[in-house]
C-alpha cells in the first residue's frame, strides 16, 4: 500500500512537471512565432510616431494596433532582453509589417527620420538654437541669425521636425502653429488695447518672464498696460536680465552663458541699453523671449481698469500687489527684506 502511494505521488509529480514543460514549450513557440513578420513580403510602409516620454508598454500596444507586430508582450520581452528599453527614441520611423520584431526594435533605437523639438515658454532665441543644433543635422549660422531675427515668434510647443530640415521647412512648421494660436480675434482684442501685433508680442514676452501662473500673467499684463497709458517706465527686471546677458554673452561661450542672470540694483542703474525699462519709458525694441499662447492671450485680454500699478514676487514666487507707491514700498520691506 505504501509503495503504491509513493508511486502515485511520483506519477502526480511527473504529470505536473510534464504539464509545466508543455506550457513552457507552448509559450516559447507562441513567443518565437510572434517575433516573425506580420506580413512577410509586404511592400507597405507605415509612419510610426513615438511621443517624448512614451512608455514601452504604450509603444508596444500601438505597434500591435498598427499591424506592425503580432503581439505586444513578445516585443516588450525582446526589447528588455536585448537591453533596448532605454534606447528607444522619440520621433517618427518608417516601418513595415514585413519586418521582424527585432528589426523593428532596432529601427526604433537607431535614429528617427523626424525628431521631437520642444521650445520652452520664456526661452531666448539663443537657448532655442542650442536645442536645435543638437537635434537637427542642417543647423548652421544662418539658422542662428534667423532665430534671433524672429525672437518672440518661435511659438513654444513640441514639434516633430525632419532631422535634415532646412530653415524654410522649420519656419513653415513654426509659423503655421503661430498663426493657428494667434488668430485675427486675438489681434483685434490687442488693437482694442492700443497694441499692434509687434507690441502685443513684446509685452507678452515681458509677462512670460515676470509671471509664474496664468492668473499672475493676467494681473501683470493689466499693470503694465496701466504704466504704458500713464507714460511710466515699465520697470521690468526681466528686460534688464536680457540686456545684461546680451553684454555678457558677447564675450563668453554661448553654451556656457547664463541667459537670465540675477539683476542687482547697480545693474538697473548702469546697464545702458534700450532694453532697460527702468531707464526708458518706451517698450523694448523687440521681444525678450518667446512667449507662450497663454501670455499672449493674457495681454490681449488684459483688464483695462486694473486698480494696481505695482507688483513684486516674494522668494516663493507669490505675487504681491499695490495701488500706491507707499503700499509698494511696504510690500518690499515686508517680503523682500
One domain, residues 106 and 207:
no
Number of domains in the chain: 3
Per the CB < 8 A criterion, the answer to whether 90 and 53 are in contact is: yes
Task: Please list the pLDDT of the chain residue by residue as tens digits (337 residues).
Answer: 554 555 455 555 554 555 555 445 444 555 566 678 888 888 898 999 999 989 999 999 999 999 999 889 888 998 998 898 888 989 899 899 999 989 899 989 887 788 899 999 999 999 999 999 999 989 999 999 999 999 999 999 999 999 889 999 999 999 999 999 999 999 999 999 999 999 999 999 999 999 999 999 999 999 999 999 999 999 999 999 999 999 888 655 566 789 999 999 999 999 999 999 999 998 999 999 999 999 999 999 998 899 999 999 999 989 999 999 999 999 999 998 8
Q: Report which of 72, 15, 86, 4 is spatially closest to residue 38, judged by C-alpha positions.
A: 72
One domain, residues 224 and 294:
yes
Q: Report which of 162, 96, 171, 172 is spatially closest to residue 135, judged by C-alpha positions.
A: 162
Residue 259 inside a domain? The answer is: yes
* pLDDT, position 302: 93
**Domain span at 78:** 38-112
Residue 8 inside a domain? The answer is: no
CATH number at residue 108: 3.30.1490.480
One domain, residues 126 and 220:
no
**Per-residue burial over 83-115, b = 16 or more CB atoms within 10 Å of its CB, e = otherwise:** ebeeebbbbbbebbbbbebeebbebbbeebebb
Residue 81 inside a domain? The answer is: yes
Residue 321 inside a domain? The answer is: no
Amino acid at each position: 500500500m505504501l509503495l503504491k502511494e509513493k508511486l502515485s505521488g511520483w506519477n502526480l509529480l511527473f504529470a505536473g512537471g510534464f504539464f509545466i514543460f508543455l506550457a513552457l514549450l507552448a509559450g516559447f513557440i507562441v513567443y518565437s512565432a510572434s517575433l516573425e513578420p506580420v506580413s512577410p513580403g509586404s511592400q507597405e510602409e507605415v509612419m510610426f510616431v513615438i511621443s517624448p516620454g512614451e512608455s514601452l508598454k504604450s509603444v508596444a500596444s500601438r505597434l500591435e494596433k498598427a499591424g506592425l507586430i503580432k503581439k505586444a508582450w513578445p516585443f516588450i520581452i525582446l526589447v528588455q532582453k536585448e537591453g533596448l528599453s532605454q534606447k528607444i527614441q522619440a520621433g517618427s520611423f518608417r516601418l513595415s509589417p514585413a519586418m521582424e520584431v527585432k528589426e523593428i526594435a532596432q529601427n526604433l533605437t537607431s535614429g528617427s527620420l523626424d525628431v521631437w523639438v520642444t521650445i520652452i515658454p520664456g526661452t531666448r532665441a539663443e537657448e532655442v538654437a542650442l536645442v536645435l543644433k543638437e537635434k537637427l543635422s542642417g543647423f548652421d549660422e544662418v539658422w542662428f541669425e534667423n532665430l534671433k531675427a524672429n525672437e518672440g515668434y518661435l511659438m513654444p510647443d513640441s514639434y516633430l521636425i525632419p532631422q535634415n530640415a532646412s530653415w524654410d521647412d522649420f519656419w513653415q512648421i513654426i509659423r503655421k502653429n503661430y498663426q493657428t494660436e494667434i488668430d485675427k480675434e486675438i489681434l483685434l482684442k490687442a488693437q482694442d488695447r492700443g497694441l499692434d501685433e509687434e507690441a502685443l508680442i513684446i509685452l507678452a514676452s515681458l509677462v512670460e518672464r515676470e509671471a509664474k501662473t496664468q492668473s499672475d500673467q493676467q494681473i501683470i499684463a493689466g499693470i503694465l498696460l496701466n504704466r504704458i497709458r500713464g507714460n511710466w517706465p515699465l520697470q521690468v527686471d526681466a528686460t534688464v536680465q536680457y540686456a545684461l546677458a546680451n553684454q555678457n554673452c558677447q564675450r563668453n561661450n554661448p553654451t556656457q552663458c547664463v541667459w537670465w542672470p540675477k539683476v542687482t540694483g547697480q545693474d538697473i542703474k548702469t546697464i545702458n541699453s534700450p532694453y532697460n525699462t527702468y531707464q526708458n519709458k518706451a517698450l523694448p525694441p523687440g521681444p525678450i523671449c518667446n512667449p507662450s499662447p497663454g501670455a499672449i492671450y493674457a495681454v490681449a485680454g488684459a483688464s483695462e481698469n486694473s486698480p494696481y500699478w505695482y507688483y513684486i514676487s516674494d522668494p516663493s514666487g507669490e505675487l504681491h500687489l499695490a495701488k500706491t507707491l507707499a503700499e509698494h514700498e511696504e510690500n518690499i520691506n515686508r517680503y523682500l527684506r
